[in-house]
Amino acid sequence: MFDKLSENNEERNSLQIMAKNLNTVFMISTMDNEYIIKIIQGLVSEVKIGPFVMPSYEFKLTASKDEWNKFLKVIPIPGSHDLIALLRRKVLKIDGNLYPLMSHLLYFKLLLASLRPTEES
């Protein structure tokens, strides 16, 4: 699901300009799977798929697989279209150091939205 973040993608590469000073490691959890994403100078450099014993990360985004699937639709329904909308609906939990996330919020929103397919398959 989120392992595709490490693939070369023009849309993701263009986001680097927004976060050229961002160096962080964060986790995304679907409750069933865990992904550690490493960002260096605004580019996703590595994605590791768990499970992990004692992972090291700055912050963690946790939602059910069903909610992440709703978020990743071509055209998500209202309430599933945005990280903050998921948070307001109380289906997304954010833990850890929020500074990297909140200081580059638009970057993270667009980064995760770049996983959405361009057309319904």
Which of 107, 109, 118, 112 minimizes the C-alpha distance to 14? 107
Q: Is the peptide bond before 51 cis (omega within 30 degrees of 0)?
A: yes
pLDDT at 121 over 80: no
Please state the pTM of the whole predicted model.
Answer: 0.88
Domain presence at residue 44: yes
Domain enclosing residue 51, as ranges: 3-63+94-112
Per the prediction, the chain carries an average pLDDT of: 89
What are the two backbone dihedrals, phi and then psi, of residue 5, each rounded to the nearest 5 degrees? -60, -25
Residue 68 belongs to a domain: no
Q: How confident is the model at residue 120 (pLDDT cuts 50, 70, 90)?
A: low
The string of pLDDT tens digits covering residues 52-100 is 889 999 999 999 999 999 999 989 999 889 999 999 999 999 999 999 9
117 part of a folded domain = no
Local structure of 59: helix, strand or coil: strand
Whether 106 is in a domain gets the answer yes
Distance CA 120, CA 36 (A): 27
Looking at the chain, the whole-number percentage of residues with pLDDT higher than 90 is 63
Contact 11, 17 (CB under 8 A): no
- Residue 50's pLDDT is 84
